[in-house]
């Protein structure tokens, strides 16, 4: 089965600024593909090119079998797009927003009621259909935007920071809806800076300064970047402790997590290595334990390694 989304050496320049630099990836049908990165990493620019909203400066891409540069209108007919900002009509009710967008998508009056009830049920908005959009809590506003993006039964769904500013419970509910969609055969590409959310993706691509720096499933990325133990350390003079561990023999990487340190050990190294290094520096350890790496650990390691390479 061919991939539903394909990007090959995709580039986008704004004047002399290269926002997306030779990005390549593919997404199979039914997958949840996550683009991760800090603000300005190139995630939104990439997604807008794939939606046919921005013309690439170089490379090529296809979505649902259509070339994004040569056939942008065909791409748009086969996708649903939810942008970062709430872009619906706040003075209209939930139902009125849905009815308005059904007209834009060319949904006939004969099918409108069926499609409206389908998306309201799927997103849990049926009981709020008479409420004004501006009166909805943040999580429900995002669900309304998703409802409108789903009206025409798109094959591919692009979600650009869909849960930004939404509380954790509402975020979890939103992801349950995404899983329901993929179980029905939809393909989802989502950008996010919430690293805990990215754990829900089948494949994750990390971006930094317009480039892809790592790709894999969450489990694969953790295994590749943390082949040895990962330790969480509580100690005094934590910034001094970080300086001691960075680049030391047996230490693959180290970073600050609030008032604690995370130290990835080289394969075969033991916690004794950390205790010896910090003890020799006169730093008292008050707690040390092995933990499972998170995508946040992976992200910090990959981005820090890229920054170190750029600084050399």
In tens, the pLDDT along 56-72 reads: 999 999 999 999 999 99
pLDDT, averaged across the chain:
92
Average the pLDDT over 18-39 and give the result. Answer: 95
For the chain, give the percent of residues with pLDDT over 70.
97
- The pLDDT of 279-284, averaged and rounded, is 96
Phi, psi of 271 (to 5 degrees): -55, -25
Average pLDDT (187-215) is 93
Model pLDDT, residue 163:
87
Confidence grade of residue 194 (pLDDT, cut at 50, 70, 90): confident
What pLDDT shows up at residue 290?
A: 95
Order of strands across the sheet with 58-63?
17-27, 5-14, 58-63, 66-67
Residues 6+ apart with CB under 8 A from 119: 98, 125, 147, 148, 150, 151
Residue 162 has pLDDT above 50, yes or no: yes
With a pLDDT cut of 90, the percent of the chain lying above it is: 79
Tally Cβ neighbours within 10 Å of residue 286: 8
pLDDT at 275 over 90: yes
Tokens of 44: 């939104």
With a cut of 90, say whether residue 193 has pLDDT above it: no
pTM assigned to the model:
0.87
Of 206, 207, 199, 175, which Cα lies nearest the Cα of 188?
A: 175
Give 309's pLDDT tier (boundaries 50, 70, 90): very low
Question: Is the pLDDT reported for residue 312 higher than 50?
Answer: no
Measure Cα distances from 147 to 101, 121, 125, 194 in Å.
10, 9, 9, 22
CATH fit for domain 227-292, picks 3.40.50.1110, 3.30.1240.10, 3.20.20.140, 3.30.70.1340: 3.30.70.1340
| Phi-psi region at 206: left, alpha or beta (left = phi > 0; alpha = psi -120 to 50) | beta
Q: Which residues pair with 189 in a beta bridge?
A: 33, 158
Average pLDDT over residues 62-84: 94
Return residue ranges of the chain for CATH 3.40.50.300. 5-217
Res 289: pLDDT? 96
| Residue, of 116 and 258, whose pLDDT is higher | 116
Higher pLDDT, 171 or 245: 245
Q: What is the mean pLDDT of residues 45-49?
A: 95
**Token output for 302:** 């990959």
Q: In the CATH scheme, what is the code of domain 5-217?
A: 3.40.50.300
- Residues 37 and 160 sit within 8 Å (Cβ to Cβ): no
What's the mean pLDDT in 79-105? 90
Q: What is the pLDDT of residue 9?
A: 98
Q: Any bridge partners for residue 205, and if so which?
A: 35, 215
Spatial neighbors of 24 by CB under 8 A, at least 6 apart, are: 7, 8, 9, 10, 59, 212
Q: Is the pLDDT of residue 208 over 70?
A: yes
């Amino acid at each position: 089965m061919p991939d539903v989304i394909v990007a090959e050496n995709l580039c986008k320049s704004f004047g002399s600024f290269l926002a997306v630099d030779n990005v390549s990836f593919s997404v199979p049908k039914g997958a949840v593909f996550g683009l991760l990165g800090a603000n300005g990493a190139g995630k939104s620019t990439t997604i807008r090119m794939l939606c046919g909203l921005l013309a690439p400066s170089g490379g090529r891409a296809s979505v649902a079998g259509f070339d994004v540069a040569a056939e942008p209108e065909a791409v748009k007919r086969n996708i649903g797009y939810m942008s970062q900002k709430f872009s619906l009509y706040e003075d209209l009710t939930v139902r009125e927003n849905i009815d308005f967008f059904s007209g834009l998508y060319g949904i006939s009056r004969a099918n409108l009621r069926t499609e409206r009830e389908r998306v309201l049920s799927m997103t849990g908005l049926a009981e709020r259909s008479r409420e004004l959009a501006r009166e909805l809590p943040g999580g429900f506003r995002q669900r309304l935007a998703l409802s409108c993006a789903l009206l025409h039964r798109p094959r591919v769904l692009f979600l650009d920071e869909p849960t930004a500013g939404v509380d954790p419970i509402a975020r979890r509910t939103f992801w349950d809806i995404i899983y329901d969609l993929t179980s029905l055969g939809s393909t989802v590409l989502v950008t996010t800076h919430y690293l805990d959310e990215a754990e829900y993706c089948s494949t994750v691509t990390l971006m930094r300064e317009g480039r892809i720096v790592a790709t894999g499933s969450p489990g694969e990325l953790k295994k590749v970047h943390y082949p040895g133990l990962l330790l969480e350390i509580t100690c005094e003079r934590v910034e001094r402790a970080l300086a001691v561990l960075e680049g030391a023999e047996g230490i693959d990487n180290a970073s600050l997590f609030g008032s604690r340190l995370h130290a990835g050990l080289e394969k075969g190294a033991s916690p004794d290595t950390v205790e010896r290094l910090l003890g020799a520096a006169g730093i008292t350890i008050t707690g040390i334990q092995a933990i499972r790496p998170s995508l946040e650990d992976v992200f910090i390691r990959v981005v820090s390694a890229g920054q170190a390479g750029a600084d050399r």
